[in-house]
Amino acid sequence: MARTPGAAEQLNGDKLSVLVVDDHAVVQWGFRLLLGRQEWMGEVAVASTTEEAVDTARRTKPDVALVDLFLGERSGAELCEALREASPKTRVLLISGAGWISPEAARAAGASGFISKDWSADEVANAVRMVGRGMTVFARQADGPATPLSPREREVLELIGAGATNREIAERLFLSPHTIKDHTTALYRKLGVRNRAEATRKAEQLGLTRG
């Protein structure tokens, strides 16, 4: 006698659609190749910018959006809300090879997971599938990529967030104002920001500062 498949088996038989959001063409190609080989995968779309991502999500309604944590001047975390507004059913999985976001910050942004590009291909594919099936996947910080800021840059950033001037930061850390300026320039570049206000806001969104 033929056995009627249960709900879980029916769910596993559904194909998932994915939107890959990354501003590097080679990375897009790699994820399309990886995901396209999965038997449970349906359509794989790609986007390079936040605007393109929102437009594609609105048109294709993907099950999962695999979003790079750093996208030019914006972060993937900032993109979460816009993607969910464009396609409410879409679940966002953040991924990064050069940064870290805490599970709390990722959830607050609306993401269903955060993983590292250091994970194996099978682990990344499995995370996409799990998120697409309604689960959450968050890398432990020990498994994730190191934060792009050095310990000294983190100290400078935290003092910037507290409202200290460069001269006040120099006095606090027993460094010269010129050295603090160098650290500030470096962390601006790493975070993709232009000023103190943007640096503080992005650091909070990415979980790079202590509460």
* Residue 25 domain flag: yes
Whether residue 1 is predicted with pLDDT greater than 60 in this model: the reply is no
Q: Are residues 54 and 93 in the same domain?
A: yes
Q: Are residues 131 and 177 in the same domain?
A: no
First to last CA, the chain: 60
DSSP category for residue 119 = S
Q: Are residues 80 and 35 in the same domain?
A: yes
Q: Give residue 42's pLDDT.
A: 93
What is the dihedral sign for C-alpha 109, 142, 190, 166?
positive
Note the pTM of the prediction, 2 decimals. Answer: 0.65
What is the domain range of residue 162? 151-205
Q: What is the pLDDT of residues 54-111, one digit of tens each?
A: 999 999 999 999 999 877 667 788 889 899 999 999 999 999 876 677 788 888 889 9
* Residue 99 domain flag: yes
Q: What is the pLDDT of residues 146-157, one digit of tens each?
A: 556 777 888 888
Q: Are residues 129 and 159 in the same domain?
A: no
Q: Are residues 58 and 97 in the same domain?
A: yes
- In Å, what is the CA distance from 190 to each residue of 5, 166, 184? 51, 18, 10
Q: Are residues 159 and 129 in the same domain?
A: no
Q: Are residues 73 and 30 in the same domain?
A: yes
Q: Are residues 49 and 78 in the same domain?
A: yes
Q: What is the pLDDT of residues 182-203, one digit of tens each?
A: 888 888 877 777 888 888 877 7
Which CATH number do you get for residue 104?
3.40.50.2300
